[in-house]
Structure 1
């Protein structure tokens, strides 16, 4: 990529979606109507949408070196999103995952998120980035486990 870019900093996870006829009752067994994986996470999805809109887009976050990371990187590549500044942890870490139950009757969704042990990027990781290459940086923040994500946009 050349010229000023847009960087999105935050979470990338794998969403495992199960579409059900209706929401399952507790302690029941139900076949699903559809099942698929997709990339999730505010910053990762924002970087893909910006790329579709014509921006030179980059995602920056942490990856665990596992099969789910390969799935995520393939998805980023398919949208032309650079992941060159991502930090990859090689041993003992797991990619964050969300299991999503979609009720096909009313469209409701229930999300079960697991972010077991993957560290966030650090200030030192971010300091390695040459900010002169970016015209806009989008930060996704998660201050604590029970607090919703919030976003900070920095225009350079």
Structure 2
């Protein structure tokens, strides 16, 4: 069976995470309770979770081939080795399409202060790596062929728009998903207008004065006119999706009434949701309806915030998926 390709395009960071009792005030001193250094970035996080799901569900990932296109330091630097090694010794992810900046030694870096009092986090990013150009993307995407799914983080919208339009011209059967995440980043709606699937963040939606995920999706359905599916995450309220052109809306809460969870680590929760949705769209496009895909992705992201990092999410995802399948069978047998 021919493998389906998933290509994720976005920045790769090395995260330094400091756990603190509470956020420090300006010009103050505060002792951290823990320090952790790990690989980050939207697309790499998504691929890390997706790789686990593929190993659990897809007999070792035989049917899906994931790729990363990201700007990295020189291929022989310790930073690049750390990034590649972070996916494990038998990674399913192909790094050969990454763009290595041979004159650069340092990776893009993210410094995260995580409050134990609230469970929230503040990020400060630093990235001195030159961004990907359209020419570099064309070269990296060459020979990947038609019938490939490209997922874009949604950074550098002008270049990303050129990339999507190149794919539309050269590979008409390509599917495209994009993230509309960062408030104030001009051009994100232009990307949404060209994509098949769009993922909106709560922070972006609120910057546009949308009061709920449903309101965001309803308004954006007039912008993303080529899309078949729009998704919007909303923190503890879970996520909503809108199927187009049927205009069928589905919402799934992260926390059920009367349920309480202990928030440990929110870094990468949105990336985990996207991994769950891409897994559903790629691997269960026929046997899972939109509601089941959303339920799976939301429940997976909810499990993620209750643990530090991304370890073990593949086996949790297997349990969640089997549980949803049992529910579907029970409903079908009762009808």
Q: TM-score range by the shorter chain?
A: 0.7 to 0.9
**Which residue is 1:140 aligned to?**
153
Question: Which runs of no fewer than 5 residues in structure 2 stay unpaired?
Answer: 55-63, 158-181, 198-335
- Secondary structure at 2:153's aligned position in 1? strand
Distance in structure 1 (CA, Å) of the matches to 2:138 and 2:113: 39
Q: Which residues in structure 2 correspond to 1:7-156 (within 5 Å)?
A: 7-54=7-54, 55-65=64-74, 66-78=77-89, 79-92=91-104, 94-116=106-128, 118-128=129-139, 129-132=142-145, 135-143=148-156, 147=185
Contact 2:79 2:105 in 1 (8 A): no
Q: Give the alignment's TM-score, normalised by structure 1.
A: 0.82
Equivalent residues, number: 153
Deviation of 1:10 (Å): 1.0
- Summarize the Cα distance change of 1:76–1:124 in structure 2 as closer, same or farther, 3 Å threshold: farther
Larger RCO of the pair (alpha carbons < 8 Å, separation 6+): 1
**Which residue is 2:176 aligned to?**
none
Question: Which runs of no fewer than 5 residues in structure 1 stay unpaired?
Answer: none
Distance in structure 2 (CA, Å) of the matches to 1:71 and 1:24: 30
- Spell out, residue by residue over 1:62-98, the C-alpha distance to the aligned partner (whole angstroms, 9 max, x if none): 1012432221111134543111111111224531111
Distance in structure 2 (CA, Å) of the matches to 1:115 and 1:17: 17
Structure number with bigger Rg: 2
- Summarize the Cα distance change of 1:154–1:59 in structure 2 as closer, same or farther, 3 Å threshold: farther
Deviation of 1:108 (Å): 1.8
- Higher fraction of helix: 2
Please identify, of 49-58 and 140-149, the stretch whose mean Cα deviation from structure 2 is larger: 140-149
- Spell out, residue by residue over 1:32-58, the C-alpha distance to the aligned partner (whole angstroms, 9 max, x if none): 111111221111112222222214211
